[in-house]
Structure formats: structure tokens, C-alpha cells
Amino acid sequence: MLMGRHPGAGTTFTNTELTRSYVGSDQGLHACHADVPVEIRLLKLAEETGEAAEAFIGMHGLNSRKGVCRSRDDLLAELADVIITAAVAMSGVTGGDVDEARNHLEHRLAVVTERARH
């Protein structure tokens, strides 16, 4: 089981607690975006991923025209947006069934965690 520490709170969480918190909070987001088709949600996820890549490039000054123009906090914010947008997309795929989305995420996290151990 994956364990970690929430950087701000100093509390330990398990992968199940993390996914419950993560996907559970998505229910309100799904309600806000219920009329947005799944295809658009997936395109938004691709857009957010691009913004994370852009923040990484800016943080390391890899664009000679712009130089260093983004911070670590910018990158973390963009990565958080990717995670949130993925949760909204998952809830769209499941038709708003947050429990189903959570179960898929928990299962996938367990598979990836097990793979990392070997």
C-alpha cells in the first residue's frame, strides 16, 4: 500500500484515503461540468498536460526566447490541474458515478504500486 505525507498537513495517508479524497471531491466538479461531453473533458486534459509541460520548460529556461519564466510552484499548480482535470474526465466516463471512478483509480494505483516494488 502506498503511503505518503501531505506536505502541508503533516498527516500520513494511504492510497485508499488519497483516492477517496481525490475522487470524492470530484463529485462537485462533475456536477459543475455535467453538461460537458466526455470528449471535451479529454481534450481539456490534453490541454492541461501541455500547460504542465510549458511550466517545466519555463522553469528550466529551455525556451531561449523566454528564458526562466516559471517557478516550481507554477509547475506544481499545473500538475494539480492535470490531476483535477483527469478526475473530472473519469467522472464523465463513468456517467457521474464517483464510486466507480474511485474504484478504478484505487485498482490502478494498486497495480502501479505493485509494479514499482519489483
Provide φ and ψ at 99, rounded to 5°: -65, -40
pLDDT at 73: 98
Rounded to two decimals, the pTM is 0.76
Of 83, 105, 93, 91, nearest to 17 by C-alpha is 105
User: Rounded distance, CA 17 to CA 20, Å?
Assistant: 5
Dihedral (Cα; 24, 26, 29, 31), 10-degree rounding: -60
Q: Express each pLDDT in 21-63 by its tens digit.
A: 555 555 676 677 778 899 999 999 999 999 999 999 999 999 9
Q: Express each pLDDT in 68-91 by its tens digit.
A: 999 999 999 999 999 999 989 999
Burial of residue 74, with CB atoms counted within 10 A of its CB: 0-12 exposed, 13-18 middle, 19 or more buried: middle
